[in-house]
Amino acid sequence: MNENNILGVILAGGKSRRFGEDKSKIKLGNKTLLEHVIDKVEKEFSELLIISNNQNYQFTSKRIFLVQDFIKGQLGPLIGVLSAMKWVELNKKNYKWIATFPCDTPFFDIKIIEYLKIKSFETKKKLVFLKSAKIRHNIFGLWSLDLKDILENDIKNNIRKVEIWADKIGSDIINIEKGKFDSFLNINTKDDLEIAKKKLSYL
């Protein structure tokens, strides 16, 4: 299995409207939300992109690259995905897929990365998402670089929502069994952060 076919991407460019400040920099325990996700993802890929318009991050690893949205205005995760694809093209990389992870979901099981890697060789689709408890997690995805031109054109035609675009393209699904805790808990509000703090104390 050639795992170098997949580029890891963390999407950290959201507006954080409901939270009121940049969620990626919020502390959960002794690490920020972004650091929690980086710690899980970094070792699983040869290179990792952080898609964010905040250019104040500093990373010691030479395998982590900070990339701004290709189109300005914080227009949503599809722009972040396209920005990653553009980075691959600009830097003449040989990746066939990008695997995306949200910066505000720190408890996901690291096993899902292996599931995504395996699926990249099995699926006949160009788009793969995780699903648990009948909920499709549109930011935990596997995106073929073959979709770049289609995605760019659809964004120019004002398609912004992942779920609408995914339904248009068609996607494969990896079903994840829901455990005792919701490993896909995403932190959108201060109340969510308090829930996450309690959950962290149990782990």
Helix axes 148-156 and 77-90, enclosed angle (nearest 10): 130
CATH at residue 83: 3.90.550.10
Q: Which domain holds residue 140?
A: 3-202
Measured CA distances, 92 to 10, 11, 110, 140, 152 (Å)? 20, 21, 29, 25, 18
Instruction: Report the pLDDT averaged over residues 72-94.
Output: 91
**pLDDT tens, 146-199?**
999 999 999 999 999 999 999 999 999 999 987 767 789 889 888 889 989 988
Question: 43 or 70, which is more confident?
Answer: 43
**pLDDT tens, 104-116?**
999 999 999 999 9
Question: 23 or 181, which is more confident?
Answer: 23
The number of folded domains in the chain is 1
